[in-house]
Structure 1
Amino acid sequence: MAKESCCSNNSSKTVEASCCSKAPTEQANTSCSSALEQQSNKSDLASLLSLEIMSYRVYGMDCGACAATIEKGLSKLKDIEEVKVNFSTGKMQVSATTAEALLPIEKEIKKLGFSAESLNQKDNIKTFKIVGMDCSSCAKSIENHINTLPSVKRVNVNFSTGKMKIEHSNSVQEIISEVSKIGYQASLLGNNQQHPVEQESKKFNDNTYVVLSGVLLGFGFIGSFTGLPPLLSTILYAIAMVISGAKPVRSAFYAIKSRSLDMNVLMSAAAIGAAIIGEWFEGATVVWLFAIGNYLQNRSIERTRNSIRNLMDLAPAEAWIKEGTKISKVSVEEVSVGDIIVVKPGEKISLDGEIILGESSINQAPITGESIPVDKTIGDAVYAGTINEHGSLDIKVTKLAEDTTISKIIQLVEEAQEKKAPTEAFVDKFASIYTPIVFIVALVMIVLPPLLGLGAWGEWFYKGLELLVVACPCALVISTPVAIVSAIGNAAKNGVLIKGGTFLEKAGAITAIAFDKTGTLTEGKPKVTEIKTFNDSEEELLSIALTLEEYSTHPIAKSIVNHANDKGIISKNGDSFKSIVGKGVQATIQEETYYAGNLKLFEDLQVSLENVFVHVQEIQSKGKSVVIIGTQQRIMGIIAVSDTIRETSATALNALKQSGVKQTVMLTGDNEGTAKLIASESNINRYFAELLPEDKVNAVRQLQNEGHKVAMVGDGINDAPALATADLGIAMGGAGTDTAMETADIILMADNLEKLPHTMKLSKKALRIIKQNIWFSIIIKVAALALIFPGYLTLWMAVLSDTGAALIVILNSIRLLKFKG
């Protein structure tokens, strides 16, 4: 049995009850109510109603303090009445006296170190897929260039998702053209602005240019050893440079124009500088290696992005809709709530709904990650993207195509990819300072030593070019986002939604996990676990119990009815049914009154309990509820009912301990006997018993005060205060709960803990890979810098160290896509 430390309400509640405060949302509601009450006169109410209100999605927050910073910063702006930021949902609402006061909001949020997207004007924002970005500096260059266009109101380019969100008044084709000027490809999502054949042709041309420049470079190099005139070799090098270098030079031009300093600028400067000093072979090698590196990086990164895009293909684009006796195939966008769709054996379910005819086993792995199909029958909910294993089903549609569970998963995962983790934000900030500093140092190196007579101009010019190449922090910048996107993609495919890199990093540092008992560790549905009879058969006892309880709505009564039905027991004819409040029920069966209830009921009836009392105490000591069946003359038997532990709970808890979690803790409102029993069965280290909902918050705080980083696992609704208090909130059973998907940091789509150990191991693995990437990138940079001054580093080696390191970092990161724990 697991080692236990019992903390009942007697010890923890009395000490910490005074610390218990209202949940943040409750406080907000209270303050809102007070504010409205103060608007007592009509003029005040009129001004309140005339306020301009805008909602935003805020990106980049990693704790509640960030929300407070934004509220404080924006409240100082002119004509802003109120700012409310909800860290848990990542949303903000701003109230202003004029519409003009809302215009600078997004710009001000950027100054504070975050980014925001207006939710009110979402329909005006178009989303483009961008191909060709291989680090976040590329995204910044595109963003800066597009922002120079007067027709563009706002733009946000995200490297991780490879998408650009833009609000503009000019044509889509103009936007695509402007992006292509900088050397990237754009296509409007959900629109055939660029035909797939054209995209393949473009890819083919890019590859051809790389191969052609490589061939010319090779001929020039071989020719220099075979007697080819030096001028001809130089011409071949120059042509190779133009073919491979045209794209980065053009991108560099627009980057400089929009005041960006990205790798295209650095590589172009190095290549042109090499040509100026007559190092044509070096210059051609630089641009060719750079082009190959970009091609390989783009292929690898696109593979990572496609792991999420593949989720979109899970749900069919069409559905068989039933109208009377007629069945026809239509697009899922044409199906309305309440329509009946037919799903044949082996087909994917196209929309969320409820089964109204038929039964089948449904493979829910695409949504919940569950490996075993789930049996479904009439009245059960089913989800788009899941597979009907056998049996034809008629399903009543409950959600439109854009509102299905799979649609929400895709939306949440993409939003998660757009949120920067603390490590990523730090690396980006470091790179933004590091690159210009090294650029300036390179210029100083080119000019100052020769002026001081410390060497020839050509020698220091070459070293300065090498430093320019080394200044490109591509591997470092890419070290975190690709790992995070890969990990989030892996989790999503396994039925776990991680809402951002921040929460992925937090999960890796968790040392204690607190679990709500009912519905999390246990089934949440009482079951009959023991039957004791006195002089009657078990069948007779269950028949009487079924007759007494079959009309009751109490969970314990339902469990007895279900157990009797499963056993094939037939109820008797009864009448004069009566509920005895707080004690049980009675009915007349075959002209005799029978009772089902607790010990108090039969004590009041003055029935002899001499032999029964010992059995009742023994069962109750195991944490079970007791239902006594009998008449006024005798006791027929006892039925024990308890909430049973889930089959997966003990296995999951053992796996969590193996993954490095030091404390597993159970929080329950049940008595200590029940808590102790469940703790021992599930191998829980520690439990807090007899807790009210607010006491769960105190229990989480107690664990935090003991030095633990605490995750709280609950259903996302009843446990909301405790989930908010914990360092990491994990909701279980998100597939059927919209609220859970909105409130928690991590969502387990299945209604069990099976995937929780995988999540913890995945986060720890991701953190290890991020650290490996960062250290590898730094070591390569330091080594390259150290080799510049003795003269061991050549220009092409500098390029190879940069693009090679970036490629190794990417390949290391995408291992997370295949991680199985």
Structure 2
Amino acid sequence: MAEQLIELNVTGMHCNNCALSIHKLLEKKGLNNILVDFAGEEVKFSNTTDTALADIVKGIEQLGFKVVDDAALYAPKFYERVETKFLFCALFTAPLLLHMVASWHVVHNPVVQLLLCLPVFAVGCLHFGKSAFYSVKGGTPNMDVLIFIGSTSAFIYSLAGTIQNLGSQYLFYETCATIITLVLLGNVFEKRSVNQTTSAIKDLVKIQQVTANRMIDGAVEVIRANDVHAGDTLLVNHGDKVPVDGDILEGNAALDESMLTGESMPVEKAKYDKVIGGTIVQRGNFRMMATKVGSNTVLAQIIELMKKAQAAKPPVQKLGDKVASIFVPVVILIALVTFVATYFLSDSGLQRSLMNAIAVLVISCPCAMGLATPTAVMVGLGRAAKNGILIKGGDTIEAVANTKYVVFDKTGTLTTGKFSINDIKVEGDAHIELIRGVITAIEERSNHPIARSLVDGLKDLAKTKLILRSAKEEKGLGMRAEDVDGNNYFLGTGKNVNSDNFNLSLYKNQVLLAQIAMDDTIKPEAAALIAQLKAMGITPVLLSGDRNSRCLNVAKTIGIAEIHSEKLPDEKLRIIDIYKQKGKTIMIGDGINDAPALTKADVGVSMNDASQIAIQSARVILLNTDLGSIVKFLQISKHTLLTIKQNLFWAFAYNVVAIPVAALGFLNPMVGAFTMAFSDVIVIGNSIRLKSKRLK
């Protein structure tokens, strides 16, 4: 059977344990490439088996989840909402709790208590029981198993006492009802808190959901941004969001690009400039041609990268996942041991033994461990995105911990990448007009900062342009090209080729035509960045293909002591490998020649205006070209990892302390249920704190 790639929207997942149960179900059905993102409510897998999609959907829904067409548009029915279930149960639980303090005869009647508890128990069976049954059947028992066993034990014990008229000491209807109601209350807070942790992606998705003004034969029709096709002409006015990526055909405007770059200052745009979907027109209006639509837009790619990043587990999460996967059977075993030990080894009797066992069941909380890492990662990634830092994987956050070296490329990274042409020295009898035309024609085919600067500097001076048959970039050297007459050209640099003043050479059929002198300017914030890195105990390193004299000049100006100049891509690779052996190494670059080194480093960081290959090779993309983003990235990563460790400590410590305390009889089941319900909220709350936490 041919491989089918399937993507489902699944609602009802509220922690990593939910995702784990779906993952194991799909594994048992023989599916491959499984990705379950509980925060993004997405399940992806490839199917090469004969299993029908309907059977897969049925299996997922039997676990207690809901497969929908569009999670963003899905609105559960009133009676399906967890808030409704909680309010309904609270209505019946309140009188049951009142009987413990009030002297009303009616609420002390066992039959009245049974009638008050029965609706709550029914909701509990439907809400927790179905999920518990199918999770056990699927071999992945979840937290609902503990809640269901605990509440059912209390109900059956009380029901037996009522039928046999054994007296008030056998009635624990309020325990059954309170366990269910308090856990539902915890689910309400948990649901709202998780929504806050995923707000970054949801905000970006909302940006996509705009309308567009499409121009057809002079008339304007309003359509959804999803219905725009490449090549459509769109009218964008003051206050509008740019619907898709494209090029301005007519008009000018100031655009707010802060949602992409974190840069608060508006960016001026004019004819032929590129605009990005989701950015806001603060002033002016223009006509544009759509060039990238749907999943090809920058915004759509960022959303997809963030979804994948949230699903990538840091190594620190693996311990939590392992414990969570065996947690429920272990807790049930502890509860059974508690019951047997209390009943046979002490004079507590059946009632006390049962209450201690139920307390063990309802106070334990595997969800806290399942939520500890992903919620912190989601908030950290979201905060980074709002600062113009796109992190491709949650595991990247841990990968930068204890960074020892940050290796910089020079051109376009520490320098502006905007070069000025100081001089062109013509060799032999070649004409300057011809030289300008050859340079422009060749460098138009490159995305390197030097190439772009050459084209910008010569486009108004090059009167005649060479017609090329082919052109290709050679990593670390320059461009090779062939014209329609079969002449071969090389424009670039190499070791011991250029003098200190002239750093580029142009050859035609291996004969030198001209030499070009270019200067680059250092970014104003570069020196401050290097000082900050040193203060953080990180050693900055300069690694460049440029000439030694220029590298020394830049390094001396901004304070870098370790320099490696005139290095080709394979040499850069070896140097990165040497630094990796000495300590955790980050590489920051922007050119094609940096791509191998970006991949080799522990974490590769690429500038947004870099070549596409560099962006694909890097694990972090700085959408804002301000170098201060590097320190912000390191700070966010550090505090996200700290938050993960705090969450895991709480989750483990809570269970290690709470379960023995409950087993020894120091906690009644209602207090246990209350504590368990809010342990998740504490973990999520600590993660949400990262949104506004002051970073040091």
Quickly name the TM-score band, shorter chain normalised.
Answer: 0.7 to 0.9
1:439-588 correspondence to structure 2 within 5 Å: 439-447=332-340, 450-451=343-344, 456-527=349-420, 553=439
**SS across alignment from 1:134:** coil
CA 1:190–1:402: 2 relative to 1, 3 Å:
farther
The alignment status of 1:673 with 2:549, answered yes or no, reads yes
- Residue 5 of structure 1 corresponds to none
1:780 and 1:801 in contact (8 A); partners too? no
| Partner amino acid, structure 2, of 1:298 | K
CA-to-aligned-CA distance 1:766-796 (integer Å, 9 cap, x gap): 0110111111122222221342354212212
- Residue 18 of structure 2 corresponds to 138
Q: 1:643 aligns with which of 502, 507, 520?
A: 520
The alignment status of 1:274 with 2:154, answered yes or no, reads yes
- Residue 698 of structure 1 corresponds to 574
CA 1:455–1:768: 2 relative to 1, 3 Å:
same
- Residue 483 of structure 2 corresponds to none
- Residue 127 of structure 1 corresponds to 8
1:508 and 1:761 in contact (8 A); partners too? no
Q: 2:40 aligns with which of 161, 165, 183?
A: 161
Q: 1:189 aligns with which of 54, 66, 70?
A: 70
Q: Distance in 2 between matches of 1:751 and 1:456?
A: 71
Q: Distance in 2 between matches of 1:708 and 1:155?
A: 34
The alignment status of 1:717 with 2:603, answered yes or no, reads no
CA 1:358–1:527: 2 relative to 1, 3 Å:
same
- Residue 127 of structure 2 corresponds to 247
CA 1:685–1:328: 2 relative to 1, 3 Å:
farther
2:569 and 2:594 in contact (8 A); partners too? yes
The alignment status of 1:348 with 2:229, answered yes or no, reads no
- Residue 221 of structure 1 corresponds to 97
- Residue 482 of structure 2 corresponds to none
1:315 and 1:348 in contact (8 A); partners too? no
CA-to-aligned-CA distance 1:381-400 (integer Å, 9 cap, x gap): 22111223333323232223
| Partner amino acid, structure 2, of 1:218 | A
| Partner amino acid, structure 2, of 1:812 | N
Q: Distance in 2 between matches of 1:142 and 1:671?
A: 56
Q: 2:619 aligns with which of 714, 739, 745?
A: 745
Q: How many residues align?
A: 614
- Residue 808 of structure 1 corresponds to 682
Give the deviation of 1:744 after TM superposition: 1.4
1:297 and 1:806 in contact (8 A); partners too? yes
Give the deviation of 1:473 after TM superposition: 1.7
| Partner amino acid, structure 2, of 1:134 | H
Give the deviation of 1:350 after TM superposition: 1.6
1:399-438 correspondence to structure 2 within 5 Å: 399-438=292-331
Give the deviation of 1:409 after TM superposition: 0.8
Q: Distance in 2 between matches of 1:139 and 1:170?
A: 20
Give the deviation of 1:490 after TM superposition: 2.0
The answer to which of 472-481 and 334-343 deviates more is 334-343
- Residue 784 of structure 1 corresponds to 658
Give the deviation of 1:712 after TM superposition: 0.4
CA 1:645–1:395: 2 relative to 1, 3 Å:
same
| Partner amino acid, structure 1, of 2:520 | D
CA 1:505–1:562: 2 relative to 1, 3 Å:
closer
Q: Distance in 2 between matches of 1:281 and 1:190?
A: 36
Give the deviation of 1:164 after TM superposition: 2.8
Give the deviation of 1:657 after TM superposition: 4.3
2:533 and 2:539 in contact (8 A); partners too? no
- Residue 304 of structure 1 corresponds to 197
Q: Distance in 1 between matches of 2:44 and 2:451?
A: 55
Gaps of 5+ in 1: 1-98, 103-119, 531-545, 574-619, 628-638
Q: Distance in 1 between matches of 2:459 and 2:606?
A: 33
- Residue 684 of structure 1 corresponds to 560
1:528 and 1:642 in contact (8 A); partners too? yes
**SS across alignment from 2:545:** coil
Q: Distance in 2 between matches of 1:652 and 1:371?
A: 20
2:551 and 2:563 in contact (8 A); partners too? yes
CA 1:483–1:368: 2 relative to 1, 3 Å:
same
1:550 and 1:557 in contact (8 A); partners too? no
Give the deviation of 1:522 after TM superposition: 0.8
1:731 and 1:746 in contact (8 A); partners too? yes
Give the deviation of 1:803 after TM superposition: 2.1
Q: Distance in 1 between matches of 2:658 and 2:580?
A: 44
Q: Distance in 1 between matches of 2:531 and 2:79?
A: 52
Q: Distance in 1 between matches of 2:400 and 2:372?
A: 19
**SS across alignment from 2:417:** strand
1:511 and 1:710 in contact (8 A); partners too? yes
1:512 and 1:661 in contact (8 A); partners too? no
Q: 2:254 aligns with which of 339, 361, 364?
A: 361
| Partner amino acid, structure 2, of 1:121 | Q
- Residue 289 of structure 2 corresponds to 396
Q: Distance in 1 between matches of 2:667 and 2:546?
A: 70
Give the deviation of 1:685 after TM superposition: 4.5
Q: Distance in 2 between matches of 1:459 and 1:247?
A: 28
CA 1:777–1:559: 2 relative to 1, 3 Å:
closer
Q: Distance in 2 between matches of 1:201 and 1:558?
A: 58
Give the deviation of 1:810 after TM superposition: 0.4
The alignment status of 1:210 with 2:86, answered yes or no, reads yes
CA 1:331–1:355: 2 relative to 1, 3 Å:
same
1:475 and 1:803 in contact (8 A); partners too? no
1:624 and 1:674 in contact (8 A); partners too? no
Q: Distance in 2 between matches of 1:709 and 1:148?
A: 39
| Partner amino acid, structure 1, of 2:565 | A
Q: Distance in 1 between matches of 2:59 and 2:38?
A: 18
- Residue 264 of structure 1 corresponds to 144
Q: Distance in 1 between matches of 2:575 and 2:118?
A: 71
CA 1:550–1:137: 2 relative to 1, 3 Å:
closer
- Residue 446 of structure 2 corresponds to none
CA-to-aligned-CA distance 1:361-411 (integer Å, 9 cap, x gap): 332222222222223333332211122333332323222322111111111
1:221 and 1:233 in contact (8 A); partners too? no
**SS across alignment from 1:508:** coil
- Residue 29 of structure 1 corresponds to none
Q: Distance in 2 between matches of 1:191 and 1:427?
A: 29
| Partner amino acid, structure 1, of 2:151 | A
The alignment status of 1:767 with 2:650, answered yes or no, reads no
1:552 and 1:558 in contact (8 A); partners too? no
Give the deviation of 1:507 after TM superposition: 2.1
CA 1:437–1:557: 2 relative to 1, 3 Å:
closer
Q: Distance in 1 between matches of 2:82 and 2:335?
A: 31
Residue identity over aligned pairs, in percent, reads: 29
Q: Distance in 2 between matches of 1:154 and 1:367?
A: 30
Give the deviation of 1:497 after TM superposition: 1.7
**SS across alignment from 1:345:** coil
**SS across alignment from 1:341:** strand
Give the deviation of 1:171 after TM superposition: 9.9
Q: Distance in 2 between matches of 1:464 and 1:477?
A: 23
CA 1:819–1:738: 2 relative to 1, 3 Å:
farther
1:78-93 correspondence to structure 2 within 5 Å: none
